[in-house]
Structure 1
Amino acid sequence: MKAETIYTVPLLPLRGMHVYPTMVLHLDVGRDRSIEALEKAMLNDQLVFLSAQKDPELDDPSGDDVYEVGTLTKVKQMLKLPNGTIRVLVEGLDRAKLISVIDQESFYEAVVEVHEEETQKDAETEALMRMLLKQFEQYMKLSKKGSSETLSSVADIEEPGRLADIAASHISLKVKEKQEILATFPVKERLERLVALLHNEREVLNLEKKIGQRVKTSMEKTQKEYYLREQMKAIQQELGDKEGKSGEVEELTERILAASMPEHVEKTALKELDRYEKIPQSAAESAVIRNYLEWLVTLPWSKATEDDLNVNKAEDVLNRDHYGLEKVKERVLEFLAVRQLTQSLRGPILCLAGPPGVGKTSLARSIAESIGRNFIRISLGGVRDESEIRGHRRTYVGAMPGRIIQGMKKAGTINPVFLLDEIDKMSNDFRGDPSSALLEVLDPEQNHNFSDHYIEETYDLSNVMFIATANDLSAIPGPLRDRMEIISIAGYTEVEKIHIAKDHLFQKQVKENGLSGNQLRLKEDAIRDIVRYYTREAGVRSLERQMAAICRKAAKKIVSGEKKRVTVTEKNLQEFLGKRIFRYGQADTEDQVGVVNGLAYTAVGGDTLHIEVSLSPGKGKLLLTGKLGDVMKESAQTAFSYVRSKAKELGIETNFHEHHDIHIHVPEGAVPKDGPSAGITMAVALISALTGRPVRRDVGMTGEITLRGRVLPIGGVKEKSLGAHRAGLTTIILPKDNEKDIDDVPESIRKGLTFLPVSTMDEVMDIAIGGSSS
């Protein structure tokens, strides 16, 4: 460009910023006149005159409202943003002086005079450039605003005018000072002015640093605390809060009075609050009292949910969530019916006892939903400290209430359904016996005055509906078991499992694995085979895991593109679950000597227990193996004594014990086995081994024996029947006194089994050996 060249270009006013020659930057343009000016420039030579407004607050500046000196720039790029503004990339070309402004109605046009930049350098200019670079480097280090890349790029600039402009763009200057730099055409003057400005800025930065260090070192801890405390007071006053403890005490007083506590509890709370107000906030006891008061005011003392006593609705909820379990559902509906009539019944204490996976916990949740109460669950598995139930004394560090009070706080009402999960898994040690601590909780005559060590004041639990769950009732102490109403859940039959899998488990797993009903179908014959050959349990947890495995395999096939839809039948089931794990109907294929099918009731449901007896030459030694408990060892001794006393009648040598060692073995030796129901089984196995007569393979038996051969009653008839059915047995020998329990066995199981009640061992022998099948 030649010196003093005249241009007529659109005018674009800037708010509070400057564009120097050679600079390339983005601008956001939103005013109508400015947008029109840009569009006009793009139609011609893309040139535009940028000049800062004298008053940045003006929305529609005229030619008189912009500075006389600005920058002639070229528009490199335009981009329309969604909010209606335009983002422009501009490149500064030359300084320009405004001569006149022409109003084109929709925009302003500027007539400007461009002066060519001086490029020649002499010794003085070189010295000024070096001074500028030195000052600029020190400024950047003090301000910590630039990077090493910025310093190196500025140091590489050779042209003095460009160096001055780039340095000016990186310094924090006022708008007026930046305009003065822009309006200084002579390069030397511009360099000198920048050196002076940088020197001043550097001095100010140095001074700020010194002041900061001096203040930091002089402010001691007490001064800092005082300063922060005064600040806190000022903030509280601004927010309308009360100062110090007085505001907190006032708030706690209101909360105590609003909590509707019993009179004696409210009196205690107000007394503690009075102590709290008098104790210094820095005292350790202050936090202890504050925490105690917080527990008192957050506990529910009178708030209760209204029971939904619609028996039909409750029945629908229970049937929706659970298949079978008729006794439990009937007990819950009885509770609702009585409650509806009396309006004053205290909460019952139920104990759902049964193997894992039969739905005890989820049933308790459904009970809460059916009657419209809040549901709280605490797990007692592994609890061995009494204070877990009753809480800790407030004198201990970190003291807190027990799990009962914690659960009530979480429930927020005085009448929730409170689930005590795994109540049989508690134990005791030197820290106390938690099961004894539960006696007060679960006694309807005492729990209206439950005392927690932390709260100290009595708390009413009589409105709570407690439900406990247990796998093994024998592990629960007698006094605790006596306070609960036991409802046994034996497990599910094959038919029930198929229904549960089809209506609940499969749908749940399909959803959890991201599939739809159209993508995966599971035939009923496949579900039956899963129940028979891939699970052996009383509950349905393992069954649900197998359903999940099928869904995962199907998801892989669908995602990989191998198949669009997957159908699982009994024919292709092994493709999804592998080879069969169990043998359905595992009764022996032939009658055997000295091998008897016993029926056992374990923590995971009913099962069959093979008892084997072998004879070897010896001197009457009785060897018991299979990790047997004391009760089963006693049963074996009793059976042995019975056989010796009846040897002549049974056709056995009376001195057999003098010539033979007897080995009684119960397979699966690693699994502990115990219980008073293997007496007749061991006796039959002994007689079979000594007489050489085989025992019927299709018969399972359970019952205890006396020395005179009487058969005594046992428990778990329903569970043992389910186990016998799973094992493929067809006949069950059971004590005569247990005949009444046959009605508890599901009808679908009863149809496939023949129950033979007996009173003496003679009857047992007639069935098990006398009627031996071929």
Structure 2
Amino acid sequence: MSKKRRFIPLLPLRGILVFPYMIIHLDVGREKSISALEEAMVHDRLIMLASQKDAQNDRPEPDDIFRIGTIAEIKQLLKLPGGTIRVLVEGLHRAQILRYTELDPFFQVEIEEFDEIQTKTPEIEALTRTAISQFEQWVKLSKKIPPETLISVVTVEEPGRLSDLIASHLALKIEDKQALLEAVGYKERLEKLCEILGREMEILELEKKINVRVRKQMEKTQKEYYLREQLKAIQKELGEKDDRLAEADEYRQRLKELDIPKEVAEKINKEIERLEKMPPMAAESAVIRTYLDWLLALPWTKETTDRLDIAVAEKILDEDHYGLQKVKERILEYLSVRKLTETMKGPILCLVGPPGVGKTSLARSIARAMERKFVRVSLGGVRDEAEIRGHRRTYVGALPGRIIQGMRTVGSKNPVFLLDEIDKMSADFRGDPSAALLEVLDPEQNNTFSDHYIEVPFDLSRVLWVVTANVMHNIPRPLLDRMEVISIPGYTEEEKVQIAKRYLIPKQTRDHGLSEGQIIFSEGTIQKVIRDYTREAGVRNLERNIAGLCRKAARQIVQEQRTAVKITAQNLHTFLGAPKYRHAQAEKSPQVGVATGLAWTEVGGDVLAAEVSIMKGKGKLTLTGQLGEVMRESAQAGFTYIRTRAKELGIDEEFHEKTDIHIHLPEGAIPKDGPSAGITMATAVASALTGQPVRSDLAMTGEITLRGRVLPVGGIKEKVLAAHRAGIKKVILPQENRRDLEEIPANVKRSLEFIFVEHMDEVLRAALVTDNG
């Protein structure tokens, strides 16, 4: 291979590369490049073509241009509008740039030309055949080169020229083309060419596989589309409708039959149109169908007609429940107002009371009395705001909240809606459901209740809301502010007897398959069950015990062939076992240091004895009997009051330095707390220190201050009933609790004497037995 040196103009190429034997048109626009062409045309029409390393560079320097390129002859030159020149060049030989002799007005370079000498060896022959074979396969796969071009290429015998021709027809990256250009030796060039052809073949094979797969999928889609169009045409000819159109028409027909607000109707029509345009297999179509079903199923305007006959409503309420006068009066007041005006919004009644007093069943009775539909939702354990307001439709498996679900279930716009156990709700990271309930239970907001799923306002103002809770302090204050609270403290013993006779015994007798005469309860039996086998504010345990008696009676009737079973107070223990509870009784005679107090518990009122013992000591005050902080403070206040009144009571004024006092409340296993036993403990201390006994037929309740004032307390009804049960004759109450006597049954009031006090001195005068009386 001989080498020749010469000086020649340089034309830098952008994004293309010219091989020897290659004829190509080039568009030249840069000033330096045009100057280089003009210089070449003046002399021997020869120009050096070398590619730029970066095609984006508009002003290349010598380091930005590859060192090896091609000497080309300018065959034709044509000036185009805009100053651009189109030039036809033919590649002649490879050459290497040795140095740049001029940089302006064009690149002049000294080059070294590689003159190829064609020599064939068996190895080069083998490489040549491999290259031709691979090029033929590439042409078949790519289909970018016509067959006549392929023939003209493969008939070339010189290996160097063959490899350059093949390389010029391949769509390669500029780096790969430059590598082939720089391969000066035949063997090296052919090996590189075979490697590149092999790689290109793999890429074409992958492209072919992908194209086949895409084509199959397209053919399948086109086939389905064609068949569906044919099916539509056939259905049209037969007078049948497309499933989607039929479904949309069905929804429109349902909408037409319903009386729905304009805003909701527009929303439904919009969703029907979306469903029509959607492909039947689209996943979202199922979501739209479910949404439409919900919107069309809700009672937007459906209402039941209220029964506004006050006498009938009162009769039904009395039939279902004994007592509960306050609740019944409130319902009858609401019905009376509804009879006079149609615009009255539904009240929000909150029934607060211990378990088993009939809160839930009372809500059912309200619905029956008004001839309204009834729906109940339990809020116990609800901690997710979405339970009330629903999930947004973007979530998988989204549904409306419990309020809207309840309205759909009941199918009426004005039901009696019971929200049970509102005090058992809680909150966590998913939101506060009690805050969501504010909109539901606010009369100013609930006419446009917004559920996240439904997305259109729903009117809840016609609903009569009944809310139940066991305790009031667990209900959030903003929620409580929107409700009308009616307390159901529990039943008196007499009320429980009446409930058992009127409701529980007939119900359990019927449920256990017994007739009226097969089980006989003698007088006093139910009272004994209530006193000795139950301790509760409601009647659940009483009903369980009556059910137990019915089961045992049923067994005796079946097993012993008896016609009737009589249950008396004397044989009750044979059915229910030994009594479980004991109610405290009044002391038989007055005693020193023992005062009878009245306490309130969750299961009703009870009698509580406060015992005081005094011993020689250093003034230590001991308190025992599971006392809470409030009762301990009451005892301290009572003790301080006695010290301040020691002289008037005839007690040694230095007693607190010489005497230890021990205050004990028996039944120590039962925790006791609350401000109600202050005057009881102070009376017992005064009795122990003065030696004057406390009346045995007298009980008391009230709180004491350091100066001896008697403060009012709660739970008066339950406490007075407990005193009545225990055989007490006189009850001392704070003066401010006089108004609470209205709640106490008349027969209890008649059998008790009430002493109202404002100061501790009055308590001691009434409670202590003096020598003269």
Note closer, same or farther for the CA distance 1:400–1:664 as it changes in structure 2 (3 Å cut). farther
Are residues 1:266 and 2:271 paired? Answer: no
Deviations 1:419-447 (A, max 9, x none): 12222333334444333332332222222
Q: Is the 8 A contact 2:692 2:770 kept in 1?
A: no
Shift, 1:664, TM fit: 4.6
Q: Is the 8 A contact 1:584 1:728 kept in 2?
A: no
- Within 2, Cα distance between the matches of 1:772 and 1:635? 29
Aligned residue for 1:214? none
Aligned residue for 1:466? 465
Note closer, same or farther for the CA distance 1:662–1:514 as it changes in structure 2 (3 Å cut). same
Local SS of the residue matching 1:683: helix
Aligned residue for 2:447? 448
Matches within 5 A, 1:649-668: 649-654=648-653, 656-658=655-657, 664-668=663-667
Deviating more after overlay: 514-523 vs 580-589: 580-589
Equivalent AA in structure 2 for residue 295 of structure 1 = W
Aligned residue for 1:102? none
Q: Is the 8 A contact 1:419 1:467 kept in 2?
A: yes
Q: Is the 8 A contact 1:356 1:604 kept in 2?
A: no
Note closer, same or farther for the CA distance 1:402–1:593 as it changes in structure 2 (3 Å cut). farther
- Within 2, Cα distance between the matches of 1:513 and 1:387? 43
State the identity %: 61
- Within 1, Cα distance between the matches of 2:612 and 2:321? 44
- Within 1, Cα distance between the matches of 2:477 and 2:645? 38
Deviations 1:193-215 (A, max 9, x none): xxxxxxxxxxxxxxxxxxxxxxx
Note closer, same or farther for the CA distance 1:453–1:597 as it changes in structure 2 (3 Å cut). farther
Q: Is the 8 A contact 1:679 1:703 kept in 2?
A: yes
- Within 2, Cα distance between the matches of 1:631 and 1:240? 85
Shift, 1:518, TM fit: 2.6
Equivalent AA in structure 1 for residue 499 of structure 2 = I
Note closer, same or farther for the CA distance 1:399–1:705 as it changes in structure 2 (3 Å cut). farther
Are residues 1:537 and 2:532 paired? Answer: no
Shift, 1:466, TM fit: 1.0
Q: Is the 8 A contact 1:502 1:524 kept in 2?
A: no
Equivalent AA in structure 2 for residue 304 of structure 1 = E
Once superposed, what is the RMSD of the aligned Cα atoms?
A: 3.6
Q: Is the 8 A contact 2:421 2:470 kept in 1?
A: yes
- Within 2, Cα distance between the matches of 1:273 and 1:761? 78
Note closer, same or farther for the CA distance 1:427–1:443 as it changes in structure 2 (3 Å cut). same
- Within 2, Cα distance between the matches of 1:434 and 1:612? 48
Structure 2, unmatched stretches of 5+, are 1-219
Q: Is the 8 A contact 2:584 2:608 kept in 1?
A: no
Note closer, same or farther for the CA distance 1:350–1:240 as it changes in structure 2 (3 Å cut). farther
What is the count of residue pairs matched by the alignment? 549
- Within 2, Cα distance between the matches of 1:267 and 1:669? 69
Note closer, same or farther for the CA distance 1:335–1:253 as it changes in structure 2 (3 Å cut). same
Q: Is the 8 A contact 1:733 1:755 kept in 2?
A: yes
- Within 1, Cα distance between the matches of 2:351 and 2:296? 34
Q: Is the 8 A contact 2:593 2:613 kept in 1?
A: yes
Deviating more after overlay: 595-604 vs 757-766: 595-604
Local SS of the residue matching 2:339: helix
Q: Is the 8 A contact 1:438 1:480 kept in 2?
A: yes
Are residues 1:578 and 2:563 paired? Answer: no
Matches within 5 A, 1:297-446: 297-446=296-445
Deviations 1:569-628 (A, max 9, x none): 233323222233334562333444444333233333333344445556776665555555
Equivalent AA in structure 1 for residue 504 of structure 2 = L
Q: Is the 8 A contact 1:694 1:772 kept in 2?
A: no
Are residues 1:720 and 2:702 paired? Answer: no
Aligned residue for 2:156? none
- Within 2, Cα distance between the matches of 1:717 and 1:451? 44
Shift, 1:378, TM fit: 1.7
- Within 1, Cα distance between the matches of 2:643 and 2:291? 70
Shift, 1:363, TM fit: 1.6
Structure 1, unmatched stretches of 5+, are 1-220
- Within 2, Cα distance between the matches of 1:372 and 1:651? 69
Q: Is the 8 A contact 1:352 1:468 kept in 2?
A: yes
Equivalent AA in structure 2 for residue 394 of structure 1 = R
Shift, 1:545, TM fit: 1.6
- Within 1, Cα distance between the matches of 2:621 and 2:296? 68
Q: Is the 8 A contact 1:587 1:698 kept in 2?
A: yes
Q: Is the 8 A contact 2:699 2:730 kept in 1?
A: yes
Deviating more after overlay: 554-563 vs 568-577: 568-577
- Within 2, Cα distance between the matches of 1:355 and 1:772? 46
Local SS of the residue matching 1:680: helix
Shift, 1:416, TM fit: 0.5
Local SS of the residue matching 2:517: coil
- Within 1, Cα distance between the matches of 2:554 and 2:771? 52
Q: Is the 8 A contact 1:471 1:604 kept in 2?
A: no
Aligned residue for 1:205? none
- Within 1, Cα distance between the matches of 2:655 and 2:669? 31
Q: Is the 8 A contact 1:585 1:729 kept in 2?
A: no
Matches within 5 A, 1:667-686: 667-669=666-668, 671-686=670-685
Deviations 1:462-498 (A, max 9, x none): 1111112233223333333332222232333333222
Aligned residue for 1:54? none
Local SS of the residue matching 2:524: helix
Local SS of the residue matching 2:768: helix
- Within 1, Cα distance between the matches of 2:408 and 2:321? 29
Aligned residue for 2:495? 496
Equivalent AA in structure 2 for residue 710 of structure 1 = R
Q: Is the 8 A contact 2:584 2:607 kept in 1?
A: no
Shift, 1:270, TM fit: 3.2
Q: Is the 8 A contact 2:505 2:546 kept in 1?
A: yes
Q: Which has more radius of gyration?
A: 2
Are residues 1:605 and 2:604 paired? Answer: yes
Q: Is the 8 A contact 1:680 1:703 kept in 2?
A: yes
Local SS of the residue matching 1:467: strand
- Within 1, Cα distance between the matches of 2:545 and 2:772? 38
Q: Is the 8 A contact 2:605 2:719 kept in 1?
A: yes
Deviating more after overlay: 399-408 vs 693-702: 693-702
Normalised to the residue count of structure 2, the TM-score between the two structures is 0.64
Local SS of the residue matching 1:751: helix
Deviating more after overlay: 301-310 vs 521-530: 521-530
Deviations 1:221-266 (A, max 9, x none): 99xx99xx99x99xx99x9985443333333333345443333333
Local SS of the residue matching 1:473: coil
- Within 2, Cα distance between the matches of 1:611 and 1:426? 39
- Within 2, Cα distance between the matches of 1:563 and 1:620? 69
Matches within 5 A, 1:14-33: none
Shift, 1:283, TM fit: 5.1
Deviating more after overlay: 355-364 vs 651-660: 651-660
Note closer, same or farther for the CA distance 1:435–1:692 as it changes in structure 2 (3 Å cut). farther
- Within 2, Cα distance between the matches of 1:693 and 1:402? 67
Aligned residue for 2:481? 482
Note closer, same or farther for the CA distance 1:772–1:597 as it changes in structure 2 (3 Å cut). farther
Shift, 1:666, TM fit: 4.3
Deviating more after overlay: 365-374 vs 446-455: 446-455
Local SS of the residue matching 1:642: helix
- Within 1, Cα distance between the matches of 2:239 and 2:319? 54
Matches within 5 A, 1:96-175: none
Shift, 1:305, TM fit: 0.3
Q: Is the 8 A contact 2:585 2:607 kept in 1?
A: no
Q: Is the 8 A contact 1:585 1:728 kept in 2?
A: no
- Within 2, Cα distance between the matches of 1:772 and 1:395? 85
Shift, 1:279, TM fit: 4.8
Shift, 1:773, TM fit: 12
Equivalent AA in structure 1 for residue 605 of structure 2 = G
Aligned residue for 1:734? 733
Aligned residue for 1:140? none
Q: Is the 8 A contact 2:596 2:607 kept in 1?
A: yes
Q: Is the 8 A contact 1:355 1:603 kept in 2?
A: yes
Equivalent AA in structure 2 for residue 353 of structure 1 = V
Are residues 1:518 and 2:524 paired? Answer: no
Equivalent AA in structure 1 for residue 707 of structure 2 = R
Aligned residue for 1:252? 251
